[in-house]
Amino acid sequence: MKNSEFITGKVPITKEEVRAVSIIKLDLANAKRFIDVGAGTGSVSIEAAHHYPNLEVISIERNDDAIDLINKNVEKFELDNVEVIKAYAPIDIEGKVDAIFLGGTGNKLEEILIWSKDMLVEGGRLVANFIIVDTFNETLRLLREYGFENIDVSVLNVAKLEKLGRGEYFKPLNPIYIISCKKGRD
C-alpha cells in the first residue's frame, strides 16, 4: 500500500518500503492473531488487516492523535478485523498471538520484550523497527538474553528521487534497523 493511501497527520508513519519488508518478515500468511505495539498512524496494522482479512489485528497506541488516525484509516479501508486499544504496552490481552510488531516502545523496551515473549505462541514472530542505534543495540542484546531465536537483522536505506534546481537527486530517508526473530520453546 502506498503512503499516500493513508490518512496521516503529525504522527509518524512507517514508510511503505519499510512496511513491506516488516510485514513479509512477520510471516502473517497462516497467522490468526497479530499485535502492533506503538501503532502510530496504524499503517502496519491497516496493511496487515487489509492483506490478511482472516487475521485478528490488535493495534496498541497511547497517543490520542494517533488513535484518531488509526480509527480513521480503519474506517477508510472498511476493516472489521482491527481492534484499536488506547494503552501504554505492555497490557493484559487474553490468549496468545502469532506475531508482534514493535513500532514504538515508549521507554519500556525490556518490559515489552518480556511481555512479547509471553504473548507469542511457540515459533511466533517478533519484528521491530528502529531509527535510534542505541535502542537497536539494546534490543538485540535483550532478544539474545531472553532466548529469542533465528534473530535476523537488516538495515534498510531508502532514497526518493526529488527535484533539485533544474535536476533531480535521490534524497535519503533515515536508515531503518529491522530485527526479526521468533520465540523458541520455553
Q: What letter would DSSP give residue 62? A: -
pLDDT (tens digit, 9 = 90+) per residue, 1-39? 888 888 888 888 888 999 999 999 999 999 999 999 988
- Rounded Cα distance, 141 and 119, in Å: 20
Residues above pLDDT 90, as percent of the chain: 83
Give the model's pLDDT for residue 105: 82
148 conformational bin, left if phi > 0, alpha if psi -120 to 50, beta if neither: beta
What's this model's pTM, rounded to 2 decimal places?
0.93
- Domains of the chain, by residue range, sit at 3-182
Count of beta carbons in the 10 Å neighbourhood of residue 55: 21
pLDDT at 166 over 70: yes
Residues above pLDDT 70, as percent of the chain: 99
pLDDT at 185 over 80: no
Give the model's pLDDT for residue 56: 97
pLDDT band at 186 (very low <50, low <70, confident <90, very high): low
- The rounded mean pLDDT for the chain is 93
pLDDT band at 184 (very low <50, low <70, confident <90, very high): confident
Query: Does 3.40.50.150 match the CATH number of domain 3-182?
Result: yes
Residue with cell 533465528: 150
Mean pLDDT of 170-176: 93
pLDDT (tens digit, 9 = 90+) per residue, 57-96? 999 999 999 999 999 999 999 999 999 999 999 999 999 9
- Rounded Cα distance, 133 and 142, in Å: 14
- Rounded Cα distance, 107 and 143, in Å: 16
